[in-house]
């Protein structure tokens, strides 16, 4: 076995060539120029086209374009009827917006644990968090791997809760042959530039419900009724509209998304078949109910026992030096972020609201993922087959040298 790259040997994943991201599509450029010269930079036909095409692509009746994926969740919560002091169950292992949107609209987040096998919200833990004040659940299709909708939708129906699917990572993901997003009250997406459908910033909300769609449209447009542009405002809400420039870019990028996702899926299959055979690498379960995958990042769990006790930090460092750009993700679950210190949350909630002691929550699944996660971004899955196989070669090489690396850690 050649020397580790960390010791000056050749990088095992030299063949891995990852495309730059975002990848500008020619159609986005043409659309942008058209918008620029049209004089309609706000609202109008480009936004409507994006909403129609995205709703169609994601098997939803309605889509409402917004300025980013964070306000998409806030808008969905408001339109779903959340009121100050209500409780909403949120994921513990995700980007902070999946949970911070809840206090931002004056409601109390209650964190559910995360299933470490799938990185998605644990339905049993959701059940445990339901109280008389719970009005809804936000879950994430984390890394584009759908949460268990067979479990979550009935729990929500049984307890009369809305479900918001944070699908910021899941453009194109399918559950039992249907795209995610409109299984619950709302699905929310991000078009931020690192996402698989990028428009710089941007987002969209989807729903099958006509009434919820109209409420979301009104609230997205500072209280104006659908289709109106004047000075009559029916609700007190903000402006979260997307600009026509963002829509122009997203429309172009949407053209290439399905083929890119197919390529990612094929490559993930190759990578999985290699990784599943490596001791100490825990991949996500194959699930027949997931009929297509979208991606933002992808993850596996690292078990030092398969690597002579080598720490994950040192494994990630060695693998990066071998040419595979992995990273270890969130250092702490969302509830241990400084933003969730009680005084910080209290500022946003009605006086007297009972706020859990987030910092001391015992949610072992989320904690485990913070220790074991190894992630890579979706453009890696657009590499060629030789590059994809080189990822597994690099892991095996680090494994072969693990005892030596471990000895240096001590």
**Residues identified as active-site:** 95, 166, 169, 192, 195, 224, 231, 241
Question: Where along the sequence are the contacts to ligand PLP (CB under 6 A)?
Answer: 68-70, 94-95, 97-98, 140, 166, 168-169, 190, 192, 203
CB atoms within 10 A of CB 289: 12
Q: Cβ of residue 276: shortest distance to ligand PLP, in angstroms?
A: 26
Query: Which residue has the closest beta carbon to ligand PLP?
Result: 69
| Nearest of 20, 68, 23, 35 to residue 257 by alpha carbon | 23
Cα–Cα dist 167/59, whole Å: 14
64 or 394: CB nearest ligand PLP: 64
Q: Residue 392 has which token pair? A: 């597994």
199 or 261: CB nearest ligand PLP: 199
Q: Cβ of residue 170: shortest distance to ligand PLP, in angstroms?
A: 9
B/e letters for 89-119, b = 16+ CB within 10 Å, e = fewer, are bbbbbbbebbbbbbbbbbbbbbbbbbbbebb
Q: Cβ of residue 167: shortest distance to ligand PLP, in angstroms?
A: 8
58 or 401: CB nearest ligand PLP: 58
Q: Cβ of residue 388: shortest distance to ligand PLP, in angstroms?
A: 24
Measured between alpha carbons, how far apart are the two ends of the chain, in Å? 23
5 or 143: CB nearest ligand PLP: 143
Q: Cβ of residue 407: shortest distance to ligand PLP, in angstroms?
A: 38
Confirm if 375 and 297 have CB atoms less than 8 A apart: yes
190 or 267: CB nearest ligand PLP: 190
């Amino acid at each position: 076995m050649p020397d580790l790259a960390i010791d000056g040997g050749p990088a095992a994943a030299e063949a891995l060539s990852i495309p730059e991201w975002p990848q500008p599509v020619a159609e986005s450029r043409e659309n942008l120029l058209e918008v620029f010269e049209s004089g309609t930079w706000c609202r109008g036909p480009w936004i409507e086209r994006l909403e129609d095409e995205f709703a169609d692509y994601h098997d939803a009746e309605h889509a409402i374009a917004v300025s980013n994926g964070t306000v998409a969740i806030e808008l969905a919560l408001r339109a779903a009827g959340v009121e100050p002091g209500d409780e909403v169950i949120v994921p513990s292992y995700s980007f902070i917006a999946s949970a911070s949107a809840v206090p931002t609209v004056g409601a109390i987040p209650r964190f559910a644990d995360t299933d470490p096998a799938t990185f998605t919200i644990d339905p049993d833990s959701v059940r445990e968090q339901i109280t008389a004040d719970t009005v809804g659940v936000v879950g994430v299709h984390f890394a584009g791997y759908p949460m268990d909708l067979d479990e979550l939708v009935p729990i929500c129906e049984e307890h009369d809760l809305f479900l918001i699917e944070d699908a910021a990572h899941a453009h194109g993901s399918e559950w039992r042959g249907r795209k995610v997003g409109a299984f619950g009250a709302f699905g929310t997406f991000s078009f931020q530039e690192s996402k698989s459908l990028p428009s710089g910033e941007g987002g969209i909300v989807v729903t099958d419900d006509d009434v919820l769609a109209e409420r979301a449209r009104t609230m997205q447009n500072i209280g104006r009724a659908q289709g109106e542009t004047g000075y009559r405002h029916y609700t007190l809400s903000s402006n979260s509209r997307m600009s026509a420039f963002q829509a122009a870019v997203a429309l172009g990028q949407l053209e290439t998304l399905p083929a890119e996702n197919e390529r990612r899926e094929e490559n993930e299959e190759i990578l999985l078949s290699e990784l599943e055979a490596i001791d100490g690498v825990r991949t996500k379960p194959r699930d027949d109910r997931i009929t297509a995958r979208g991606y933002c990042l992808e993850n596996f769990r690292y078990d030092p026992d398969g690597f002579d006790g080598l720490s994950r930090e040192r494994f990630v460092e060695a693998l990066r030096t071998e040419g595979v750009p992995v990273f270890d993700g969130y250092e702490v679950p969302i509830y241990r972020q400084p933003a969730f210190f009680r005084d910080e949350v209290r500022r946003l909630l009605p006086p007297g609201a009972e706020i859990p002691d987030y910092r001391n929550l015992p949610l072992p699944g989320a904690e485990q993922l913070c220790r074991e996660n190894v992630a890579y971004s979706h453009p890696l899955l657009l590499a060629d087959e030789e590059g994809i196989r080189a990822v597994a070669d690099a892991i095996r090489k680090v494994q072969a040298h693990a005892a030596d690396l471990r000895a240096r850690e001590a």
